Each structure stands twice: as C-alpha cells, then as structure tokens.
Structure 1
Amino acid sequence: MTMPLYALVVLIWGSTWIALKMQLGAVPVELSIAYRFGLAALVLFAWLLLTRQWRVPRGAAVPRVLGQGLCLFSLNFVCFMHASETLASGLAAVVFSSASIWNALLARLLYGRRLAPHVLAGSVLGLAGLAVLFWPELQQGGQASWQGLAWALGGTLCFSCGNMLSASLQALGYRPLHTNAWGMLAGTLLLAGYALAAGLPWTFDASWRYAGALVYLAVPGSVIAFTAYLTLVGRLGPEKAAYATVLFPIVALNISAVAEGYQWTPPGVLGLLLAMAGNVLVFRPPRWLQTAGLQKA
C-alpha cells in the first residue's frame, strides 16, 4: 500500500498549487483557508460518525492536536497563499519540496536521530538548487520575490513541525483520520478567531473558479491527501514520508507552465534537478557512501 499512497499524494498535492492561486482575490487569505478546512473537517467528522470511528483526543494528545491545527491547517497555508501572490505556483512547490530536508533536521533536533553525511550533503545540494532556480526570479522580481520566497520557506517549516506532531500523535495510538478532523477544526477556529479580531471582511466568492478550487482543496487536497500523507508519516517516519514532496515540483511546474505561462529556462531546469537530487540523496544515498563506511545500512 505504500506506493499507491505515495502516488496519490504526489498527484493530488502536485496539482493543488494552482488551485491555491485561484483562491487569491476578493476573499481574505485567512478566510479562504478557514473555509477550506472547515469544509474538510465537516466531511471527516461525517465519515467518522457514519463509520462509528468517533474518537475525542484526550490528555497529552490535546495540545499536539492544537499544534497540528496551527502548523498544518492554518499557518502553513497562510504562508503559501501569501507566497503565491508574488511567486509562480510551481516555484512555491519547489520550495515545499525541501520539507524532506527540514523533516530530517527536526528529527535530529527533537528526537536525537543521527544526521548522516548523506543528509548533510543532500541538504546542501537541495538548497543550492533552490538558489539557482530562484536567482533569476529574485533578480527580476526584486523585494516582492524575496518576500514570496520567505513566505514559502516559513510555510515549509510549519509543515515540517506539523509532521513531527502527527508522528507523536500516532505514537500515542491516534490515527491520522481522527487527528486530522480535530486538527482541521482547530485550524478553522484559529483562523476564524483571527479574522474576527483583525476585523477582516467576511466575504465569499461564488464564482465557479473560486468555489471549484475550494471544493478541490477541501476534499481531495485535504481529506484524502492529508490522510494518505500522514499515514505514510506513521508508517515510515516523517523523514521518509516527505520523500513524496520530491516529485511535487514536476507536476506543479508543468501545470504552471500551461496555466500561468511559466517558462522553463536552463537555470530553472538545473536548479530543479539540483533540488530534487538533494532530496533524493537524503533518502537514497549511493552505494559508494555505504561501502565507504559513511552511512550505516
């Protein structure tokens, strides 16, 4: 079941970047995300009730679920939607692919897992790829592109923190189906509370473009893909589960080329290949590293 879950996550999340861009407009970013996860939470709770799988988080799980709601189902997407205001959706997906690196670093920091030489090498290679890919964009776009890149990196770090929280919840015996429902509800309430406190206008765009993107992001993009991905986190650990993000940019950039007019350039291709190679190196070190004694089997 591992490979089908990977394929499902890659295909769905690789195509949600353009849907995120379609959400930009008259509706404040925070409310668009609240609508998305509010709808996704309703779908999940309805499923849990129908299948009699209802479970309420208790004890040590409660703050972790709240943290997951903050990191995975609110701040993460606030950051990426702001990034999409100045970056092509495919470029934001490339930044997101560095989640595999951040997951490995956080696992080292939080759980003391050994940071092998190939992880360090892959991190350097991946970050170099991002620099090559984004340099023309940053030169042409100026401060706006730098801000977009900063938003995307912040969203990726939030995503990785949410991965760690999900892994700890599954270690406590909670399935992603349950924690996602409660986490999405928490994220929705946090964003709604912020919207009220900030005095944001409570608007909704009834156009097919906005509403269609909302439904796609809420059901396939949230209910299905997040459940599949966090199931991989529980089975394989957050570091290896994030390997799925290596393939997102291929899907996202090709969609961006058609929908947004993104143009492939030699530096862009080189940067993408370096970024992906860095992520691959994190999880699939070449045999010579193992035979050299630098990597424990």
Structure 2
Amino acid sequence: MPELPEVEALSEFLNERLVTRAIGRVYPVAVNVLKTYDPPLTALEGRTVEAVGRRGKFLVITAGELHLVTHLARAGWLRWQQKLPAEPPRPGKGPLALRVRLADPTTTGFDLTEAGTQKRLAVYCVHDPGEVPGIARLGPDPLDPGFTETVLRDLLSGEKRQLKGVLRDQSVIAGIGNAYSDEILHAARMSPFKLAARLTEEQTETLYQAIGSTLREAVERSRGLAAGELKAEKKTGLRVHGRAGQACPVCGDTIREVSFADSALQYCPTCQTGGKPLADRRLSRLLK
C-alpha cells in the first residue's frame, strides 16, 4: 500500500508533468472506483491543472475549482503513460480503473490501476477536498511544521490502544500505514504492543524523533524517482517490514512476525521487546 512517502513522491512527480496542462478526457473504466457523481468527472475536461498535492495518503489534483482526489488503497497504483492508445479504454477484467488523457496534441496521461480481487481504490471529484470523508477525518500530518512533540504527546495521552494500532489510525496521525509503523517502532526500539498512554516523556520524544526521521528519509529516497520506480525503492529501504526470517540490520537477531486476519507486523525481538518474541495468536490457534 502506498503510504505518505510514496504519495508525496507521486505528487511531486505529477506536479512536474501536469501543472499548466489541460485535462482532455477522463475515462472511468471501473465504475466501482468512482465514489462521487456530482460534479461528474467530465467537468474536469478542459480545465488546467494548477497543483498536485497530498493529504495523508490521498493524492489531490487541483484543476480550477475542482479537485480529482485518489486513494490508492492496498493494491492501487498510478502509471504515467507517455503514449496512450488512441482508442478509449473498454471496461473489462483487467487492472485498469481510470484513465486521464491530457488535452494537448500528445498522447500523454496516466492510468490508475488496481490488482487483485479486493477493489478498494477510490476516486472522487469534489469542489473541496474536505468533502471526501477520509480526508475530513484525517489527523495532523507528521511532516507538517506544526506537528510538534507536544502535539504527539497530547494525541497519545489517554490512548489505551497499542502503539502499532495508534500509528496506523489515520484520524490520529495522517499518512502512516502498516509498513512505516513497523519501521518507526523499530527505529524507536519500542514494542508494537506497548500501550500508547504509558509512554514516558523520554519515550515520547524518542518516538517523535523516529516518526520524523523515518518518514523524511523515505521521502528523500523517493524524491526524483519515476512513478514506476517507487514500489521497488520502498521495499529496498525497509529494515524490518516484510523481512521476517532475515537478520536485523542493527543487531543481527532474526526478525519475527505477528500475523492478523488481513495483515502482519514485523519486529526485532532484541531491538524492541527485550529479546522476547511476541505472541502470534493466529499461529497459536493453529498449534492447538
């Protein structure tokens, strides 16, 4: 799933290629991705793109008074196309969900695609990004200058949930998902099961620094890359997420995994849990 660093890089990539150019046609290939109908997507056609930005994990393309907002979800992606086919795309069983063709004489544009059977990619055409429910619920952006250690402390105060869940909650902090929450907790040397409200002032400061450094480093690694290169860059930059069974790059211990119904977390016992493996409830049930 694209998270804050990848969506930030995508917004920069598109800014260089879309701003000052007019939208020619918008083709909704998979109707289920479209979550709004008024104004229609056709209202974007002929408008000049003024900016491309990010709200949490949402990508926002601004064209006049309208905004094309996209959430790529777990299996969605944006593919820049230097030469689109001349004929309009046809609905089918393929991954193509939406196509945007620019208005100039070239055949340039981009496709939104989604792999797999769980279709969660979402597209909105709105007058104000705040009209999108997911954006309206977003907590503060961790890369915003206003996101201070005091803000984080206030957010965690009274939180009876585990740190892993709190970091992934978009209404608490915007943009952090499964992968970077693992990376942040590893950098902070904290257990994903630690209760958020029990952090000391020193631990809160450590977590705050880990959030900022982990996300900023990921953004810098992604900056300047083409859209098609971002997925590979994300994987190569991760130290624990997706690396169960491999050696921790910090201490050499074996990275462990805890599985859930539809996701999994990875962590280093030596760096994060005092050498003790966390209980994997799904595995425990299988062993009974």
TM-score category of the 2 structures, normalised to the smaller one: under 0.3
Name the structure with the higher helix share: 1
Structure with more of its chain in strand, by fraction: 2
| TM-score scaled by length of structure 1 | 0.26
TM-score (ref. length: structure 2): 0.27
Question: Which has the higher relative contact order, 1 or 2, with Cα contacts under 8 A spaced 6 or more apart?
Answer: 1
